[in-house]
Amino acid sequence: MTKDLPLIHELTRDEFRLAKMLKALGNPVRFRIMEYLAENQMCITGDIVIFASLAQSTVSQHLKVLREAGLIQGEIEGPATSYCICMEGVQFLKTQIGKWLPNCCTTEIPASRLHCC
């Protein structure tokens, strides 16, 4: 016998985009690559491979996920690809995080809500 579970409502386009970005950042390697790119402005794939100490194919896969999530952009320069932070994507992420869960964890927490259970 299967149990019918209630369906959650569909995500809006912005919610879906945010979820995709958060999923991409949920991997520690991709999280660090983002920090590296933010600090170094623009890097070729080889620089990121050296930083990550991973195989070039593995780094390329991580870069693909970040690019598809809209967090970075790449530009082909001869035999190499240069990557940088997608400013519009990161600004979107920051804005959406700021709007997420607006009624939760405000600066003033009533004593009755200090413990969740």
For 24-50, give one letter per residue: b (16+ CB within 10 A) or e: bbeeeebeebbeebeeeeebbbebbbe
Tell me the average pLDDT across 87-93. Answer: 97
Is the pTM higher than 0.85? Answer: no
The domains of the chain are located at 13-93
Average pLDDT of the chain, as a whole number: 88
pLDDT band at 116 (very low <50, low <70, confident <90, very high): low
Tell me the average pLDDT across 33-39. Answer: 96
Q: Would you state the CATH architecture of domain 13-93?
A: Orthogonal Bundle (1.10)
Rounded CA separation 22/71 (Å): 10
Query: What SS3 state is found at 43?
Result: strand
